[in-house]
Structure formats: C-alpha cells, structure tokens
Amino acid sequence: MSAAWTGVVLAVLAALLPAPARADVRVKDVARVQGVRDNSLFGYGIVVGLSGTGDKARSSPFTPQAIASMLQRLGVAVAAERLNSKNVAAVMVTAKLPPFTKPGATLDVTVSSLGDATTLQGGTLLLTPLLGPDGRVYALAQGPLSVGGGVATGAGGDSVQKNHPTVGRVPRGALVEREVPVTLDTTTVTFALARADFTTAVRLADAVNHAVESPVARAVDPSTVNVQVPEEERARLMEFVARIELATLKVDEPARVVINERTGTVIMGSEVRISTVAVSHGNLTIQIKEEKLVSQPPPFSPSGATTVVVPKSEVTVKEESGNLGVVPESASIGDVVQALNALGVTPRDLISILQAISQAGALHADLEIM
C-alpha cells in the first residue's frame, strides 16, 4: 500500500469509529505561566579536528581571523593571512536556557557551520561563550560533536551525502554560568494559552475556580486568564500553581481540515460539518502507445532495396463516468467521510473534492493545505 493510500485509510478508519467525548486535558498542557519561558543563547565558535573538511581560507576569510585571534590570546602570534587550515571550521552555537536553571546545570547545544565546510563530523567545539539578548554570558559550551550525517567523495569527484553533515550537537555540552532572574508575582498569576480561543479561555477560568473552590480566575482575552492568589495561599505559591496546573478542562478548537498534497493525506477535526451538496467527479485518461514496424526486403532482392521502419501510434482516450452523488448534510466527521467514500474516490480525488466543496461554501471548516 502506498504512503498516500496509507494516510487516507488511517484518516478514514479513525473517522468511522464512534466519536468519543472530547477528552479532558490538564491546564499545564494547554497553558503556561506568563513570564516563565525558555531563553535563547547564541555564540560564535570554532570547531577543530576535522579531516580536511573545514572552511577554505579564500571563501571563508573570517575563519583564519578567528584562529589568529584565539592563538594570540594563547600567546602565539601569527598573521591571519598565513593560516589556511582545512581542519578548522567557523560555527554558530545555539542553545535554549530553561527558566529557573541554576549555575552548574548543563544544556544541549546545536552547532551549525558558518562557512563552506563540507562536514563537521569528527570535530570538537572549542570553548565558546553563549550570550543572551542582553549581551551577557550565560553559559560556556565545549565538547566533541555528534553529527548524524556524512559525505563520501570518490576519486572521480562523485559524492554521496547522508542527512545534514554541517549541523551537529554537543549533548550536555554547555555549562550554565548565570541564572536568568524570574520573579513571580505572589498576588496575581497569569496563564497564557498556547492557542488563543474564547471558549477555551472561559473553560480554563472555570476549571481554576473549581480547583481552588473560589472565584479567583477571570478570562481577560482569548489567550490570557488572570488568577488572583488568595492571601492565605501567597506563602505557598508553588503548591497553589501546581494545584491549578493539574486541573482539567475540555479544549475547544475550530473545525479544521488539513491536506498534504505531497503524500495524499487528509486529516479532519472532529467538529467538521458539511451542508448538503451534489458531487460529480470523473477521470480522463489518455494513453498513447507507440511501436515501430520494420519492413525488411526478402532474400536475393535487387540491389538498392533497403529496410524500412514504419512508426505506428495508437491513441486511446478513456473517460470514467462521473456519477452525480448527493452528499447529505452531516452531523459528524464519520458521516462526512462515509458520504465521500461512497463515491469511490481515490486520495487525490478526495483532496480535489474537498477543495471544491470548500469553494462552494458547503464545507464548514478551515481548509489548510500543507
């Protein structure tokens, strides 16, 4: 079974199952405390130990300059113009610093080639300061790279590349040196929804009020819920927030149909509805068959007789009958898929039909094409 058929079959099977009640989710899975977030770090570094796959001095002049500056700090004076090491590559180092991370903790870092190095495989990242947006150093990164790809080049110049060899990672390669200060307000805690929605925001406020047994939460806008911390809970703010995060609610999402035309996958949300519409869809197939007829002179033919090649083309046009089918107004996603599947459509046909139904205004859902 092809990947396209597999995607549609899975979507159809899931749709034909009885639609369960919308599951409850935890507050911490759909919202976060405002102000508590990751922080991006970055730095300019040097990878050494490459096997002739590093930057070329002519096309990446910043690499020799960085090497010369590093050697000068180590007491070795050498002009950048005299450096042409292919075992070195200039890289950008990035990492995410989670909130409340204390000095001494370690982070995973991503190392990306900045010049024209062909692969970073086998390289070691030298000590690299990682800066925050404020220009201060928050971590120091160093260590051997783990690269999930590679390049093999033959003597004739042919090469084979697997995955992406110019990006690697250093697991636990950064040591945190400075903590990002995070101050929590003991009087008001604000929760920000990952997906803004009026209904979900109101349900979140109701879930918080039910969990703390007090009307302390109020939806300010579709993505923000303010929670007033009771005076008796301010000394135990961590326990209060943890109790709210474990509260559950039903998340409401707008009806949506997602189409991936490359793989033929169609995914429909449980709230998708369709109005009564008539659908007719047929396929036109044109087949051209060519063959060559060879006419050869018989034995002992007079001189001058030659073999004659006569091309023969056969064109066949076949149009499948597109029966007009009525797709009734449906009340569930299962009804939608059953009605469309009854027309005997293929994955590609289903995508075309859904797009046409949306253009006709009969599909009551957002249509997203990947």
What lies within 8 Å, CB to CB, of 130 at 6+ separation is 41, 42, 43, 93, 95, 109, 137, 138, 139, 140, 141, 174
DSSP structural state of residue 184: -
pTM over 0.85: no
More confident residue, 173 or 364: 173
Q: State the residue for tokens 């051997």.
A: 144
Residue 147 has pLDDT above 60, yes or no: yes
> In this structure, which topology does domain 24-35+184-250 adopt according to CATH?
Dipeptide-binding Protein; domain 1 (3.90.76)
pLDDT class for 18, splitting at 50, 70, 90?
very low
Average pLDDT over residues 44-61: 87
What is the per-residue pLDDT for 304? Answer: 59
As beta bridge partners, residue 138 has none
Tokens at residue 337, please?
Answer: 């898929």
Higher-pLDDT residue of 51 and 345 is 51
Q: Would you state the pLDDT for residue 369?
A: 81
Q: What is the pLDDT of residue 73?
A: 86
User: What confidence tier does 70 reach under pLDDT thresholds 50, 70, 90?
Assistant: confident
pLDDT grade for 69, boundaries at 50, 70 and 90: confident
Give the highest mean pLDDT range of 10-14, 78-82, 166-170, 259-263: 166-170
CATH 3.90.76.10 spans which residues of the chain?
24-35+184-250
pLDDT at 273 over 60: yes
- Residue 78: per-residue pLDDT: 82
Q: How far apart are CA 274 and CA 362, in angstroms?
A: 6
The string of DSSP codes covering 38-104 is -EEEEEEEEEE--SS-S--TTT-THHHHHHHHHHHHTT----GGG---TT-EEEEEEEEE-TTPPTT
Q: Do residues 188 and 175 lie in contact, with contact meaning Cβ atoms separated by under 8 Å?
A: no
Model pLDDT for residues 83-123, shown as the tens digit of each residue: 777 889 999 999 999 999 999 999 999 999 998 888 898 89
Of the listed ranges 20-24, 42-46, 364-368, the one predicted with least confidence: 20-24
Q: How far, in whole angstroms, is CA 212 from its chain's centroid? A: 37
Mean pLDDT of 141-169: 74
CA neighbor of 191 nearest in space, from 214, 224, 216: 224
Task: Answer whether 107's CB lies under 8 Å from 96's CB.
Answer: yes
User: What stretch of H or E contains 123?
Assistant: none
**Among the listed residues 50, 88, 96, the one whose alpha carbon sits nearest the alpha carbon of residue 69:** 88
Question: What mean pLDDT do residues 123-147 have?
Answer: 94
